[in-house]
Structure 1
Amino acid sequence: MPTDLKLTQDLDIEIINGDFMIGESSYQHQKTLILSDKGEFKEYPMRGVAARRYLEDGKPDDLAREIRQEYVIDGMLVNTLKIGNGGQIEVDAFYTL
């Protein structure tokens, strides 16, 4: 399980009593990959799902395929991935490192 700086729900760095919080970060890595557009990570410019592009696409299979590819590239094993009619994304994935 990777550890990293903890992020809030708004993806800001979590600070408590003036200290950065550190903890298990799989979920926030997954969320960040889904929300990030290509080019947002300077070191890895081809990373990111850019889920916003798929909102009006009407093809949840394309979004699921992109999420699965990005997670595998990032070192995760994806057990299940479901996208509901309302756009809810349910993922069971974990890092194999």
Structure 2
Amino acid sequence: MKGIILNENMTLKIVNGSMVIDDNTYQNQKLLLLAEKGEFKNRPMRGVGTRRFLETENPDELAREIRTEFITDGMTVKTINIPKNGQLTIDAYYDN
């Protein structure tokens, strides 16, 4: 999906005086993973809030929340892998 790109400070990425428009799939995934419910003013029930799951013994709850939020955002989710070492891998994309 093409959209506005943010820089590492989460502000608009500007190149040669113009906003950067590019594939923002991974950016959107990151924002959804980090956002707590209530942080998006226009959609207060959106966000996974991965910090809430840091102490959770059962990764299925986190995987279910990720899948739900990504699907609601219009993505197709193929796989979510949450191994014991915490290295989250997700294969999800927007259908064009």
Task: Normalising by structure 1, report the TM-score.
Answer: 0.89
Deviations, residues 43-97 of structure 1 (Å, cap 9, x unaligned): 1100000000001112211111100000111111101110122222111111125
Q: In 2 relative to 1, CA 41–18 (structure 1 residues): closer, same or farther, beyond 3 Å?
A: same
1:72 paired residue number: 71
Aligned to 1:40, the other structure's residue is in SS state coil
Deviations, residues 5-58 of structure 1 (Å, cap 9, x unaligned): 112344332222332211011111111000000001111100000000001112
Task: State the number of aligned residues.
Answer: 96
- In structure 1, list runs of 5 or more residues that go unmatched: none
- In structure 2, list runs of 5 or more residues that go unmatched: none
2:91 paired residue number: 92
Q: Percentage identity across aligned positions?
A: 47
Task: Normalising by structure 2, report the TM-score.
Answer: 0.89
Q: For 1:57 and 1:43, how far apart are their aligned partners in 2?
A: 29
